[in-house]
A and B are shown apart, each in its own frame.
Chain A
Amino acid sequence: MTRLVDLAQVLRSKNAGALLCTLDMMFEDEATYRRVRDSGMITPQRIAGLYGVSDNEVAVIPYDVAYAIKVTIPRLLPSGDPGDTDVYGAQQHAPLLDIEIPD
């Protein structure tokens, strides 16, 4: 098992508009990308569990040409609403770091 943080070159989050948060995982080479993509660990079900949302609110889109996987989830609150914690959505990626990818 290897943690995702040790396999990815980029692990980031950002708003995709005021209502959605998008999480990008990018990899240095094709082999690592395929290993993660095909691991069965990056699924709507797993992401939903990590972020406390329902499966059907999660989109997982592998993007072969850039060795990247994009995940989109709803924000807890619209950006900048009273009670929002992260207006840009730039620090919502941490739960991804510890995902264990089988060898």
Chain B
Amino acid sequence: MSELRMMATTGMLGYGYTEEAFRRGMSLKPDFIAADGGSMDPGPYYLGEGVPFVSRQAIKRDLGLMLEAGIENDIPVLIGSAGGGGSDPQVALVREVAEEIAREKGLKFRMAVIHAEQPKEYLKKKRAEGLIRPLGPIAELTDENIDETHRVVGMMGVEPFQKALEDGAQVVIAGRATDASIYSAIPLMRGYDPGLVWHLAKIIECAGQVTTPRPGQDCVMGTLGDDYFLVEPGHPDKRCTRMRIAAHTLYENPSPYHLVEPDGTLVTTDSAYEQLDPRVVKVTGSRFEPSNSYTVKLEGVRKTGFRTVFIAGVRDPVLISVIDEFIASCHERVANEARLLGIPHDSYRLNIRVYGKDATMGPREPVRQTQAHEIGILVDTLADDEDTSKAIMAKARYSLLHTDFPGRKCISGNLAIPFSPSDMPVGMTYGFNVWHTMELDDPLEPFPIEMIEV
């Protein structure tokens, strides 16, 4: 089989890449170009709200170069987990950007838009059939959990990409997808070894992460042969090192040896990594073990309330020395004040953390006594409505500012408050309540494909 070449332009659509690396990559005549558009790293909010965690301008810049070059060279352009979480509004945004680019640059192509959002009734049916299971330390999913979810996406494998391409799409804007599926779909269609395909896909999905020197995202090239694959940077001045490539399966995975995909597991125990020249690494020996069932991951969020945030500094050494007791007394005072406002204790959450002490690790912080000469107080309140969230914050701010403590001399105020206004409402928040797997007979079933002539 002749070699198949792919280019990962960036580890995250909107994080950027250099035009120099992109042009050099295109000169190597890739068979397709792709980018991952999503991650759950930034937490549940973006999926909940249906918005990207990069700017629209950045998506347009990264996608613009890809679409132009892809259409000009008549090769597929694939985007997975579009818009960050791959939910319907996030996919719609990337679709709209793609259409805008096409209009502005006079490009014409067939585009598939693949949906990944999962209706509650569908999830309940699958749950009732016993096909939904916890993925890690989380409880079994119940109908009540499903009812309280705000948005759930399924993580597609290669099959929806392949179906879209078979139906003639040149550009694919997919909802939530496994990072590696974006890069595995085409090579698997063309019959390359699945162990090598999945391993290469897993390495290049983070693009510039595997190159050195590292600053910034950038394009990475992957080349598949019969019994090997090669990884090299797009940028002429960057390198891929054997260690960096080998180490990549450690990143963000529970195990570097076993990487689970919908239809099986990539096993790297016998993978060998060879530095072919100063820029290129060759990998052999990776295996793929097919599983008996086809499972996709589900990610879902529920609303966790309106948040208001407040930040202030404490420089008073007496207060720093009694900060834990002081905060406990403020909690008590806020509870009393809230009661007077008719706000029951169980209808809000007040969280006061101390930077300079244990705000980063919480109860896991091994250093219990702070040596800091100043500390930062970060307060956040959560409630079902914004008014309650702000009302509790106003009481918390007042309590922290003016509550007495033993040895207090700073009786005009305990805090240095840097801003006016001091209380910052940040809107609705979300929490993950679905982190499960769903077994499927048909890998296409929960991922409807829309075909559009752009």
List the interface of chain A (C-beta within 8 A of B): 14-20, 22, 24, 26, 50-52, 57, 59, 61, 63, 65-68, 70, 72, 74, 76, 78-88, 91-92, 94-95
Contacts and interface: CB of A to CB of B under 8 A. Distances in A.
Given A51-B364, A82-B305, A82-B349, A16 B253 contact: yes
A67 B243 contact: yes
Nearest to A19: B136
B138 interface: yes
A19 B40 contact: no
25 contacts: A14-B252, A15-B40, A15-B252, A17-B135, A17-B254, A18-B44, A20-B136, A22-B254, A61-B255, A63-B247, A65-B273, A66-B247, A70-B254, A76-B363, A76-B364, A78-B138, A79-B44, A80-B429, A82-B431, A83-B349, A87-B41, A87-B43, A92-B361, A94-B366, A95-B366
A28 B30 CA distance: 34
Nearest to A16: B254
B304 A79 contact: no
A85 B252 contact: no
A24 B254 CA distance: 10
A85 B430 CA distance: 15
A67 to B, nearest CB: 7
B271 interface: yes
B139 to A, nearest CB: 11
Given A76-B362, A85-B362, A59 B42 contact: no
Interface string B221-248: 0000000000000000000000100110
Interface in B32-52: 40-45
Given A17-B435, A80-B430, A95-B366, 18 more contacts: A15-B252, A16-B252, A16-B253, A20-B254, A22-B250, A22-B254, A26-B247, A52-B364, A61-B257, A66-B247, A68-B247, A70-B255, A72-B254, A82-B351, A82-B429, A82-B431, A86-B360, A87-B42
A61 B256 contact: yes
Nearest to A92: B361
Interface of B: 40-45, 135-138, 243, 246-247, 250-257, 271, 273, 299, 304-305, 349, 351, 353, 359-364, 366, 382, 429-432, 435
Contacts of B40: 15, 17-18, 79
Nearest to A59: B254
Contacts of B257: 61, 63
Contacts of A22: 250, 252-254
A50 B365 CA distance: 9
Contact of A82 (B45, B136, B382): B382
List the 4 closest pairs (A to B, CB-CB), nearest first. Answer: A80-B43, A66-B247, A66-B246, A87-B43
A95 B41 CA distance: 22
Contacts of A80: 43-45, 429-432
Contacts, number: 127
Contacts of B136: 17, 19-20, 74
A85 B41 contact: no
Contacts of B431: 78, 80-82
A65 B271 contact: yes
A27 B366 CA distance: 25
Contacts of B135: 17, 19
A7 B309 CA distance: 40
A18 B435 contact: yes
Contact of A94 (B246, B271, B361): B361
A63 B250 contact: yes
B41 to A, nearest CB: 5
A91 B360 contact: yes
A79 B432 contact: yes
A57 B136 CA distance: 11
A78 B432 contact: yes
Contact of A85 (B243, B349, B360): B360
Nearest to A89: B41
A52 B368 CA distance: 14
A63 B258 CA distance: 12
A38 B193 CA distance: 36
Contacts of B43: 18, 79-80, 84, 87
